[in-house]
């Protein structure tokens, strides 16, 4: 079981230090935090496993605003999230760029959490499987079943909305994703301490990618404990 906290654009170094001083992950579960780039070194110094929230496909070059896999390794990061729906929605990330980022990261030895998920309109118009297939196959074509690759199923309508997928709906999507690309699949979308256990009880839910509830040490620890008691 892997529980990853995506901090989005929250917590600079001082707040990161304060979080790490209080947060106590339980045994029996792999826990990752993904702070903003400027807080990576602070998070690494705490001894927690740290991922970045994105990574570029080139190792260096004229790519203003980007960070490469060797740079992340140099500061002690262990991996990177790629293809988060906020990157796809607000920063022009495409299936092709997500795949390139995922490939470069895995090749460099970083763990990868590659996000996929349908929008509300896509689900309502019956396109969920088609959308997931296109997104997952782009990643599969680039990365294959690389042992450093983990997928995250994050239905866009459930991210930051308080609307969680039912455990049955998550299970169905996870099983479909694994039929395309047999790698672990995390669930993401309004995971909270009070719904984590039922989601994590599904056989094909291999962990969680947590946004809002990962910002507070107690709620993130509670979610990690729900995973630890399942594994």
Q: Which residues bind ligand PEP (CB under 6 A)?
A: 6, 8, 154, 159-160, 188-191, 209-213
Q: Name which of 164 and 228 has its Cβ closer to ligand PEP.
A: 164
Closest CA relative to residue 221, chosen from 14, 3, 1: 3
Cα diameter, the chain: 47
**Contacts for 59 with CB less than 8 Å, ≥ 6 apart:** 68, 69, 70, 104, 108
Q: Which is nearer to ligand PEP, 138 or 159 (CB)?
A: 159
Of 44, 21, 30, 16, nearest to 224 by C-alpha is 30
CB of 86 to ligand PEP, least distance (A): 7
174 catalytic? Reply is no
User: Catalytic annotation on 121?
Assistant: no
Length, in residues, of the chain: 231
Residues 155-164 as b or e (16 or more Cβ within 10 Å = b): bbbbbeeeeb
Smallest distance from ligand PEP to CB 116, Å: 12
Among residues 42, 93, 154, 202, which one is catalytic?
A: 154
Q: Closest CB to ligand PEP among 20 and 191?
A: 191
Concatenating the DSSP letter of every residue in 111-144 gives EEEEEE---HHHHHTT-HHHHHHHHHHHHHHHHT
Q: Which of 42, 56, 84, 93 is catalytic?
A: 84
CA dist., res. 76 & res. 224, Å (int): 22
The nearest distance, CB 84 to ligand PEP, in angstroms, is: 6
Task: Pick the closer one to ligand PEP by CB: 47 or 162.
Answer: 162
For the bound state, the minimum distance from the C-beta of residue 191 to ligand PEP, rounded and expressed in Å, comes to 5
Active-site positions read 84, 154
């Amino acid at each position: 079981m892997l529980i990853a906290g995506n901090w989005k654009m929250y917590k600079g170094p001082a707040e990161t230090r304060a979080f790490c001083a209080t947060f106590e992950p339980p045994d029996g579960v792999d826990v990752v935090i993904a702070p903003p780039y400027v807080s990576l070194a602070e998070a690494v110094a705490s001894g927690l496993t740290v991922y970045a929230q994105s990574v570029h496909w080139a190792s260096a070059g004229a790519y203003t605003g980007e960070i490469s896999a060797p740079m992340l390794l140099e500061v002690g990061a262990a991996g990177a999230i790629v293809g988060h729906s906020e990157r796809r929605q607000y920063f022009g990330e495409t299936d092709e760029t997500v795949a390139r980022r995922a490939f470069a990261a895995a090749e460099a030895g970083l763990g990868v959490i590659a996000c996929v998920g349908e929008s509300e309109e896509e689900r309502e118009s019956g396109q969920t499987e088609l959308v997931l297939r296109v997104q997952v196959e782009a990643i599969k074509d680039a990365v294959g079943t690389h042992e450093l690759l983990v997928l995250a199923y994050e239905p866009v309508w459930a991210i930051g909305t308080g609307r969680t997928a039912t455990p049955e709906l998550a299970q169905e999507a996870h099983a479909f994703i694994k039929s395309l690309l047999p790698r672990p699949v995390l669930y993401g979308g309004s995971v909270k301490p009070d719904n984590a256990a039922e989601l994590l009880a599904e056989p094909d839910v291999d962990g969680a990618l947590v946004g809002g509830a990962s910002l507070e040490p107690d709620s993130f620890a509670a979610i990690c404990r729900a995973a630890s008691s399942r594994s």
